[in-house]
Amino acid sequence: MSSKSFFLSWIPGACLILLASCSTPSKNLTRYEFERPQMGVPFRIVLYASSSKLAAETAESAFQIISDLNMIFSDYEASSETSKLSAQSGSGKSMTASPEMLLLLEKSLALSKKSGGAFDLTVGPLVGVWKKARREKKLPSKSTIEETLTRVGWDKIQLDRKQGAVRLVATGMKLDFGGIAKGYAADEALKSIRRAGMSRALVAAAGDIALGEPPPGAKGWKIELDAGNGGKTFLSLRNCGLSTSGDLFQFLEIDGKRYSHIIDPRNGQALEQSSTATVIAPTATEADSLATTFSVLGPDHSSILTSKHRAIEVRFLIKQGEKTAVKVSSGFMKYYHTHEQSLARSAPGGWKILE
Ligand code: AMP
Ligand code: MG
């Protein structure tokens, strides 16, 4: 068996760069890579296939699935299902929803409930207010936030499961799937690649990745994370989702305070602390939505979600002046690559500050 190294460079919340590929793979499988802008980010597909034709056709179908999902979940496209639903808010009318929409509504509402409203799809109007603030470099007034909050709240989504219909109760509501749809699209694209018989594949939507079986001869996909101290940390992952959320790159700065693109729907404020949350979960849908949720909850309140769901692990990078603190859930380090695994075994349970 030839030695192989598959490096994926992970820059939190921003982009994913393939550093190096492999030598000739075993069992006549060749590595193929495709990239296309979708949902406002570069979507990347890496797969191992027996021919370039099969690889290209499979990737094309997967990109088509992502594009179809965009036409359901985009809040930019006026003709998307999400935009149509938001346009009907407050009218008293219900809209029949697609199975995909119903599924993500169910998953999102369950997470809203579990997280006490930290994750909330109805955050759209607040996202608009804070986008304007970023553009104008001026904080929104208290009264603007208060008025906007009357159009926000997951309890204002009424789901009729039997009829497969949904109604938004208040006028001027706007659903925003930005914290979950990319992970879901990555999962669905990966599923379609698996259905075509290629299990050794990965789909990455910027910071949200769905990982299948690893490359031939490898135990996992090697993912590079920013270690928070200028260095790098490597993860070895397979058959799971990985996602990073946070504001180390995207923020508004006023009077020395940084305001994130992630909003706390409970008080209408953009997050102030400069941090990223990296989540490993069974699927990219969960990793994506939980990374956004953990960013809102912060390390001190996130263990409610990790301890109840053993397969969920999170790492926080928190900027504290010139330094960056790293906090990890008890099982996160078992995914560290090679020599770092010995450190994981000796790690105590609970949160651990590494530096
Ligand atoms: P992510 O980059 O996955 O953390 O998602 C951030 C995006 O999700 C933002 O750009 C908003 O569109 C949306 N969002 C912001 N705050 C929340 C929240 N508290 N719950 C759900 N979605 C949010
Ligand atoms: Mg997210």
Integer angstrom CA distances of residue 42 from 172, 221, 246: 31, 19, 18
Spatial CB neighbours of 99, under 8 Å, sequence gap ≥ 6: 164
Residue 66, classified by CB atoms within 10 Å of its CB into exposed (0-12), middle (13-18) or buried (19+), is buried
- Ligand closest to CA 250: 1
Segments forming the whole domain that contains residue 136: 85-168
pLDDT at 26: 56
Q: Is 123 in the pocket of ligand 1 (CB under 6 A)?
A: yes
* CA-angle at 20, arms to 17 and 21, nearest 5°: 115
Alpha helices in 167-207 (DSSP H): 181-195
Q: How far is the CA of 231 from the centre of ligand 1 (A)?
A: 27
Considering the domain boundaries, does residue 149 fall inside one?
yes
**Distance from the CA of 230 to the center of ligand 2, in angstroms?**
24
Rounded to the nearest angstrom, the distance between the alpha carbon of 289 and the centre of ligand 1 is 8
CA distance 307 to 198: 33
Cα angle 198, 203, 209 (rounded to 5 degrees) comes to 135
7-11 and 221-226 beta bridge pairing: parallel
Determine the Cα angle at 210 with ends 261 and 243, to 5°. Answer: 30
> For 191-223, b where at least 16 C-beta lie within 10 A, e where not — what string?
bbbbebebebbbbbbbbbbbbbbbbbebebbbb
Q: Residue 105: which CATH number?
A: 1.10.3980.10
| Token duo for residue 27 | 């069992």
Q: How many domains does the chain have?
A: 1
Q: How many other C-beta atoms can be found within 10 angstroms of the C-beta atom of residue 173?
A: 23
Residue 118 to residue 291: CA distance in whole angstroms: 11
pLDDT of residue 308: 61
Owner of token pair 């193929």: 32
Q: How far is the CA of 68 from the centre of ligand 1 (A)?
A: 21
Residue with tokens 């790690």: 347
Q: Would 229 be classed as within a structural domain?
A: no
Residue 286 CB less than 6 A away from ligand 1: no
Q: Is 60 part of a structural domain of the chain?
A: no
- Ligand 1: residue whose CA is nearest its atom 1: 179
Give residue 336's pLDDT. 87
For the CA of 243, the nearest atom of ligand 1: 3
**Global pTM?**
0.88
Q: Is 309 inside a domain boundary?
A: no
Evaluate whether residue 315 is within a structural domain. no
Task: Write out the two tokens for 211.
Answer: 């990982």
CA distance linking residue 54 with residue 67, whole number of Å = 20
CA 146 to each of CA 72, 149, 173, 348: distance values in angstroms, whole numbers, following the listed order: 30, 5, 14, 43
Distance from the alpha carbon of residue 183 to the mean position of ligand 2, in angstroms: 7
Distance (angstroms) between ligand 1 centre and the Cα of 263 equals 7
Q: Looking at ligand 1, which atom is closest to the CA of residue 264?
A: 19
Decide: 245 in ligand 1 pocket, CB within 6 A: yes
- Evaluate whether residue 124 is within a structural domain: yes
Find the 282 Cα to ligand 1 centroid distance in Å. 20
Assess if residue 91 is contained within a domain: yes
The pLDDT, as a whole number, for residue 251 is 66
Report if residue 90 sits inside a domain. yes
**Ligand closest to the CA atom of residue 246:** 1
Nearest CA to ligand 1 atom 18: 119
Which token pair is 106? 């169910």
pLDDT in tens, the chain (355 residues): 333 222 233 333 333 333 333 444 456 899 999 999 999 999 999 999 999 999 999 999 999 999 999 999 999 999 999 999 999 999 999 999 999 999 999 999 999 999 999 999 999 999 999 999 988 999 999 999 999 999 999 999 999 999 999 999 999 999 999 999 999 999 999 999 999 999 999 999 988 999 999 999 999 998 888 877 777 888 999 999 999 997 665 567 777 777 888 999 999 999 986 788 999 999 999 999 999 999 999 888 777 677 665 689 999 988 877 788 888 888 888 898 764 443 433 333 333 333 3
Pocket of ligand 1 contains residue 126 by CB under 6 Å: no
Q: Is 296 in the pocket of ligand 1 (CB under 6 A)?
A: yes
